[in-house]
Structure 1
Amino acid sequence: MKGSVAIVTGGGTGIGAAVVRRLAERGVHCVINYASSRDDAEALADEVGEGAIAVQGDIVEDAACRALAASALSAFGRIDFLVNNSGRTKFANHEDLDALSAEDFIDIYRLNTIAPFQMIRACAAAMKQGPHSAVVNVASVAGVFGNGSSVAYAASKGALTTMTKSLARSLAPAIRVNAVAPGYVGTGWFEKRLGEAGFAALNAQIASKTPMAIAPGPDDIAGPIVMLLDPASRVITGETMLLDAGAHLDVGLSRRPGKEI
C-alpha cells in the first residue's frame, strides 16, 4: 500500500481520523476531507506529516466531490482508495411516526447515501487507472437490522449497503467496493456529551452485552477498513462486514452465563 493515495471523508475525527492514522502508518498519502471540523483535520494532517493534506468540502454537493477528487490528483497525482465515512442522523423513536419529516429523510439520505455515490463517481476515472483500487463505505448495523437512532438513518444505511453491491458489480474488475457496518463505536462525540465517567460507564455497559466483551472504539473499526482496502483482500468485493463485537449474535448472548437477554 506504500505510496498509494486515499481520500477519507469525515477524516478529521472519530473513525475517519483512526483510518487516516492507520493508512499513514502504511505509507499511504491521505486526503483528509472535512465539512466543519477544520481544526481537527488540519491538526491531524500536521500530525501525519507531508503525506497528508486537509481539504474542506461539503460532499452533499456534487461539485465539492469533484473538487475533492481534483485536489487529490493535484497533490498526489493518483487516487487508489476511497473511504466514505461521513454521515449524519436525527434521533427519533421508531414508534413515533410523526418524529421524522420528508425533509429529515432527504437530509440524511443526501449525506449517508447520495454523497458516497457522488464521491465514487468523482473518483472512478482516476481509480480505474490504478492496479489495486478499492472503496470502503461506512454503513451501520442499523442498515442491516433496521434498528438504530431513527428509521431514516437505518433506511439510509440499508440503501448504502445495497448500493455497495450494485457498484461492486458495475465497477469490477477495476475497483473493489465493500462496506463495514459498525454497531456502537465509542467516539469523542459520546465522551463530550456524557463526560469521562459517563463515557466509561457506557463503554462498560456495552462491553457487558457483547460476546467479545468489547466496547468498540474508532481504531477497532479502522483496522478492518484498512484490511479491506489492502490489495491482500483482492478477492473481497460486494461485502458488508459487521463490526459490532458479535452483538448481533443473539444466540451467543443468551448462552453467556450471567448475560441472558
Structure 2
Amino acid sequence: MAKDGLCAIVTGSASGLGAATAEILARSGARLVINYSSSQKEAEATAEACRKAGAAEVVVAQGDVSRDEDCRKIVGVAAPWGRLDVLINNAGTTKHVAHGNLEGLSSEDFQRLFGVNTIGPFQMVRAARSLLEAGANASGRPSAVVNVSSVAGISGVGSSIAYAASKGALNTITLSLARALAPLIRVNTVCPGYIDTPWFTKGRGEDAAKQVRDNVVAKVPLKVASTAEDIAQLVCFLATPASSNMTGEIVRMDAGLHLIT
C-alpha cells in the first residue's frame, strides 16, 4: 500500500486543466494515474512532466469515461496501491453550437455530451468507491472527489445548450453524491469560467478563440483570462486535506464574470 503522498486519478489529464492539476499534485510526491481517451502522445508527455516534478509513481491509462468498462479499467490501474485518496473527474467534451440554433444539436449530441460530462464522473466514482473508502480508512480523513464542471452549468451559457445541461446535471450529482458517500468520501465541484487553453482554439479556430479571450479580458471585473494553472490550484485545494471539512460545494472561479451578468 502506498504511503508516500496522495494516490490520485485525474481523468482527461493529457493536456489543459487536467495536465496542470496532475503536475501540481506531482510536486507533493503523489502517485498518479494519467488518463486519456485518444491523445496518447500528450498523455505520455504529461506523465513525464509529472515524474520530473517529483511524483512517486505515474501510470498512464487509456479509457473513455462514458464507457463503464473503461472506468473500471482506469480505476483498476490504481488497485495495486491499495487505496485512492483523490479522484478528479476532469474529462469533458462539447460541441460548439449557437444556443439559438436548435437544429444544430441532435439527440446523439446530447447523449455523447452527457455520456462524458455527466455519466462518466458518476461511473468513475462508482468504480473507485471501495478504493476511496480504503484511502479514508488508512489516512483517518475523508478521501476527495473533485468534479470539474463549468459556469455553463450554473448560468446556462457556454459552447452549447447540451454542454450547459450536462454540466448542470453534474452539479446536481455532486450534491447527491456528497450526501450519499459521507463521511468517508467528500465530493466537491469546481465551476470555471473561461480558461485560456487550446479548448477554444480547437472548437472555434485561432481567430475566433483570440476574440473570445479578448472579450473576456475586457468584460470581467478582474481583467484577466484564467489559465489552466489558475484553476488547477483550486482543484488541488479541494483535493487535498487543506479543504478536509468541505463537501457538497459548487465553487465558481470566473474572474468575477457572474457579478456583471
TM-score higher than 0.5: yes
Gapped regions of structure 1 (runs ≥ 5): 252-261
Could you tell me which residue of structure 2 aligns to residue 259 of structure 1?
Answer: none
String of CA shifts for 1:27-69, please: whole Å, max 9, x gaps: 1111000000100111111222252111111111101111111
Amino acid at match of 1:138: V
Q: 1:204 offset after TM fit, Å?
A: 3.6
Q: 1:10 offset after TM fit, Å?
A: 0.4
Q: Is the 8 A contact 2:59 2:77 kept in 1?
A: no
Task: Pick closer, same or farther for the CA change 1:2–1:208 going to 2, 3 Å.
Answer: farther
Q: Please give the secondary structure, in 1, of the residue aligned with 2:134.
A: coil
* Bigger mean CA offset, 112-121 vs 55-64: 55-64
Q: Please give the secondary structure, in 1, of the residue aligned with 2:257.
A: coil
String of CA shifts for 1:114-142, please: whole Å, max 9, x gaps: 01000000000110112331000000101
Amino acid at match of 1:221: I
Q: Does 1:51 align with 2:61?
A: no
Could you tell me which residue of structure 1 aligns to residue 139 of structure 2?
Answer: none
Distance 1:170 1:219 in 2: 31
Q: Please give the secondary structure, in 1, of the residue aligned with 2:103.
A: coil
Distance 1:189 1:166 in 2: 29
Task: Pick closer, same or farther for the CA change 1:153–1:201 going to 2, 3 Å.
Answer: closer
Indicate which of 69, 75, 83 corresponds to 1:78.
83
Amino acid at match of 1:61: R
Amino acid at match of 2:12: G
Count of matched residue pairs: 249
String of CA shifts for 1:140-165, please: whole Å, max 9, x gaps: 10100011111111111000000000
Indicate which of 221, 224, 240 corresponds to 1:211.
221
Q: Please give the secondary structure, in 2, of the residue aligned with 1:90.
A: coil
String of CA shifts for 1:214-261, please: whole Å, max 9, x gaps: 10111111000000011121111001111111111117xxxxxxxxxx
Distance 1:106 1:202 in 2: 27
Q: How does 1:1-261 map to 2 (within 5 A)?
A: 3-49=5-51, 51-74=57-80, 76-131=81-136, 132-191=142-201, 194-195=205-206, 202-250=212-260
* Bigger mean CA offset, 146-155 vs 93-102: 93-102
Q: 1:189 offset after TM fit, Å?
A: 3.2
Q: Is the 8 A contact 1:105 1:152 kept in 2?
A: yes
